[in-house]
Structure 1
Amino acid sequence: MTLTLHDIKVWNTGEVIDLIVPSDADKTVDASAMTIAPGFEDPHVHFRDPGQTYKESMVSGCAAAASGGYTNVLIMPNTVPAMDGVKVTAGEPGASEVLDAGFDTVIDYLQHYEQAHDVTLPVRYDLCVCASKGRAGKEATDVADWIGYLPEHDDDNKDAYQLAHPVTAISDDGSAVTPEILDPVFDNVKESGLYLIEHCEHHDTGAVNEGPVSRELGVPGIPEDTELKIVERDIEMARKTGVHVHFQHVSTAISFDAIRKAKAEGLPITCETAPHYVALCDEALLKYGTLAKMNPPLRSEEDRKATIAAVADGTVDLLATDHAPHTMEEKELGFLDAPNGIIGLECAYGVCHKILVDGGFISDERLIELMSTAPAELMGHDKTDLTAVLDEYADAVPGDDDTKRVLDLGKVPADDNVDLVVLNTNEEWTVDPERFHSSARNTPFGGWQVTGRPLATIIGSKLAFSRIDKED
């Protein structure tokens, strides 16, 4: 059984090919409006498993990722218990999920999740270890507690699950690394060879961006320099130590200016922003309420425009969703008490395409780079080289006017790790959270008219998700 796509366009060359994909159904589809590209990757997701599976689980989170065209994600460490490599203690929140599955650390549990739950997850995933023990910010984690989970450490004693889901980064995401442990954390990063993912924002008070909107709402504000202070601090640490720092969800003009200067200096700095920071400003709080509450907060319209400019000029290295599931009951608690964050995996491409490509700021090809090849480079993944795959495996079929190549993925060895996304770059569709595969619904983008949609996700040359010829 196969899915045969006729006249599909290759994203970076414009070549038109036929693509045959192993699937459960036998279909032939006119794909002349579609584009094939390396699968999307997201180095910033929260799947709430273990400890908060009433919000999301590995199963629902990975289903959401596959629906959004993602083939690889990086799981953030704010699980419950935290992903710090320390053995969990019976009786602490979330511990029973780990212990009942037969494991004693969250890392080991997540590496063996498919084995423990007898499921096959539709996307690949890496893990991010905590910078501080318990993510409490008081004491840096011990390298000895987690170095054994790194991919290159003692490979002979790792099973296939551990090799497939290694620890590849370090972060206290949700919080910036605290000043009291900054030096030992950077020492740990340097010793381990990981890269530091930094939540570049810290505030002790406030709930939304400080400005006219916060005053209209009567809600304490968060000044924009709370982000800049962390950015400047860590740029100086990168200069001092040579450690690669990746800044998450950058949202202000002043932070982008600092990052531009650091990059011009040749420092090992990269950064991301998220779809909501290019699509929304703090005025969205007046319309969407706490569905638009996040951390860092949505900033001013001037900052939104500066974020788009930073994407357009290359200051932003990649786009990440910061997929953060919460229940609607939690989101209805009001601005002071509602948790921060929105879900984003299933509409990220459409929102970014609408704002950035339809807006004339970047090309279709550049958006794919920002969501696919650039995050893969950050995470150290070998990205699917479509040109090489075609040269190796595609057969030439003479036609009336020219020669078309046919790529039958059923003939490609699974260990070649061919991960792809099929896109309709022009499809107009309406975001409907009720049809999401995520367990959560907390998004301000419900009802938005967007363009560009992932139609199929291919992992290891096999169809992992498809909405081709489906109503979804």
Structure 2
Amino acid sequence: MITLRNIKVWNTGEIIDLRLASTASAFFHEGAAPAEDADIDASGLTLAPGFADPHVHYRDPGQTYKESMVSGCRAAASGGYTNVLVMPNTLPAMDGETIVDPEALGAKEVLDAGYDNVIDYLQHYEAAHDVQLPVRYDLCVCASKGRAGHEATELDHWRRYLPDAEESKDDYQRAHPVTAISDDGLAVTPEILDQVFANVKDSGLYLIEHCEHHDTGAVNEGPVSRELGVPGIPEDTELNIVARDIAKARELGVHVHFQHVSTAISFDAIRKAKAEGLPITCETAPHYLALCDEALLKYGTLAKMNPPLRSEADRQATVRAIADGTVDMIATDHAPHTLEEKALGFLESPNGIIGLECAYGVCHKVLVDGGHISDERLIELMSVKPNELMGHESCDIATLVENFAEPAPTGPGTRKGVNRLLDLNRVESPEDVDLVVLGTDQAWTVNPEQFHSKARNTPFGGWNVTGRPLATIIGSQLMFSRL
């Protein structure tokens, strides 16, 4: 059994010893793998509930040359994530509709595996491909058929995939339910807004809204767009969607979660809606905390995304919104593309960057090292709050210690500094214990060539950051280690 000695519990500060149940069959590592009976000195390291990301794109099916479920989940595990929410902009779209065109991009992957729609295929991905994925995942259904924005998806076509649906389910369906609705990458269109909100209300799910819409432009409107000679995107393209959906939440009482919020004016609107008691939550992403549109001059299209990087004033407003609690959580918006695609220029290259494998380090550098929040608050933003949004409970380590840890030895001759031992083999429901081991002060340099993702499209290559996930534990089993 692998035992970590002298590790600190993230929210109590207690130093404990932790014994893992086993190493999972999906385990992978960087460097030498620990022996099954290893005793590892974890002094200075922190034990926290596993990170959760409510916003990832895995390009599977349809664009697996960019990313697959396997490579995306490995990237997540190496970044300390134990749970992710997979967005529906797959090809074909994850809309619950039966595939009718077998020649459509990605359709053959689904049909050859024996399934007739993308939700079934992704729920059963491990069975279809005979693999064990190293991260838990939920699925997000499209708001519109084909993500085309013309017709709302039909609740009856995907109701059976909901967590509390009465239909009998196999283990894969129970493990990977549909838990949210979104047309992510696109805002819900006005023509189907009422029906989409009706689906949200009737299903009991929440709407994940891509709160930004523009018909022209490629980067933030301002001095940088003019210097580049590239059409700009005004900041109110975000506020318009935020204000519209806040009004619908007020009218219907349904939960709206705003993705990748990036402007001061949007944060002000969300702040006021929360003060009103409306069921509104929001996220931002590491790149909006660490970069402004001036980064386009240095990194080019590696810093092109949607919403675009905003002004330095908006970046500072994003940090303030984290510090004052307006922002509920941090999501990566992990968006893999090839470097060839990103080299097409500002007008033609796709939007987005990858983020799972350096998110914690970048956020720690900006927010904790910058003095804006504590280590504990960053863990809340990356673990507790996104898990809560996704309907999952973060592991309560302190309660596990109190209920199941062996007491530290006492009496004459007892060595000083002996800790309570939390043996995950002895806890109740070890299959529910998801953890991350963090080197909160560990300095490292981001090297995309060492990423487990297939993609390399990040502006953070070469950045010196602090804070690194060192081990990912799912169901009490070691899934990833760089210890």
TM-score by length of 2: 0.95
- Corresponding position of 1:456: 471
Q: Could you tell me which amino acid in structure 2 is paired with residue 205 of structure 1? A: T
| Distance in 2 separating the partners of 1:323 and 1:260 | 26
Match of 2:480 among 456, 465, 469: 465
Q: In structure 1, how many angstroms separate the alpha carbons of the residues matched to 2:258 and 2:125?
A: 29
**2:267 pairs with 1:268:** no
Q: Assess if the C-alpha contact under 8 Å between 2:329 and 2:385 holds in 1.
A: yes
Tell me which stretches of 4 or more aligned residues in structure 1 moved more than 6 Å.
none
Q: Give, in whole Å, the separation in 2 of the partners of 1:412 and 1:458.
A: 15
Equivalenced residues, count: 466
Q: What residue is the counterpart of 1:151 in the other structure?
A: 163
Report sequence identity in percent.
76
Instruction: Indicate the residue corresponding to 2:438 in structure 1.
Output: 423
The 8 Å contact of residues 7 and 15 in structure 2, kept in 1 or not, is answered as yes
Counterpart position of 2:232: 221
**Matching of residues 120-199 of structure 1 within 5 Å:** 120-155=132-167, 157-199=168-210
Matched-pair contact (CA < 8 Å) for 1:284–1:292: yes
1:325-404 equivalence runs, <5 A: 325-398=336-409, 399-401=414-416, 404=419
Return 224-233 or 405-414, whichever deviates more: 405-414
* Aligned twin of 1:443: 458
Q: Report the Cα offset of residue 151 of structure 1.
A: 1.0
CA RMSD across the alignment: 1.0
Question: Aligned equivalents of 1:47 and 1:15: distance in 2?
Answer: 38
Aligned to 1:433: 448
Range that drifts further, 409-418 or 185-194: 409-418
Q: Tell me which amino acid in the other structure corresponds to 1:331.
A: K
Give 2:277's aligned amino acid: G
CA contact (8 A) 2:52 2:386 kept: yes
Matched, 1:37 2:48: yes
TM-score scaled by structure 1?
Answer: 0.97
Shift of 1:412: 3.3
Q: Tell me the amino acid that sits aligned with residue 65 of structure 2.
A: Y
Measured in 1, the distance between the counterparts of 2:270 and 2:421 equals: 44
Instruction: Report what 1:246 is aligned to.
Output: 257
Which deviates more from structure 2 when the two are superposed, residues 25-34 or residues 290-299?
A: 25-34
Aligned to 2:70: 59
Deviation by residue 1:118-149 (Cα, 9 ceiling, x = unmatched): 00000000000000000000000000010100
Residues 287-324 of structure 1 show CA distances to partners (whole Å, capped at 9, x for unaligned) of: 00000000000000000000000000000000000000
Give the drift of 1:410: 2.7
1:231 lines up with 2:230 in the alignment: no
Segments of structure 1 that go 5 or more residues without pairing to the other structure are none
1:416-457 CA distance string (max 9 Å, x none): 410000000000000000000000000000000000000000
Separation in 2, partners of 1:173, 1:29: 42
In 2, Cα distance between equivalents of 1:180 and 1:259: 24
**More deviation in 396-405 or 222-231?**
396-405
Q: Could you list the runs of 5+ residues in structure 2 that have no partner in the other structure?
A: 24-33
Secondary structure at the aligned position of 1:395 is classed as: coil
Q: Who is 2:117 aligned against?
A: 105
Partner of residue 410, structure 1: 425
Cα shift readout 1:145-198 (whole Å, capped 9, x = no counterpart): 10100010025x100000000000000000000000000000000000000000
Residues 388-410 of structure 1: CA distance to partner in whole angstroms, max 9, x if unpaired? Answer: 21122211122544662101123
**Counterpart selection for 1:207 from 199, 207, 218:** 218
> Which residue of the partner structure matches residue 5 of structure 1?
4
CA–CA distance in 2 between the matches of 1:229 and 1:184? 19
Conserved? CA contact 1:412–1:461, under 8 Å: no
* Partner Cα separation in structure 1 for residue 419 and residue 356 of structure 2: 34
Deviates more, 1:379-388 or 1:344-353: 379-388
Return the offset for 1:415. Answer: 5.3
8 Å Cα contact 2:431/2:474 also seen in 1: no
Distance 2:131 2:477 in 1: 17
- Write the letter of the residue equivalent to 1:291: L
State yes or no: 1:88 paired with 2:99: yes
**Contact 1:50/1:94 (CA < 8 Å) preserved in 2?**
yes
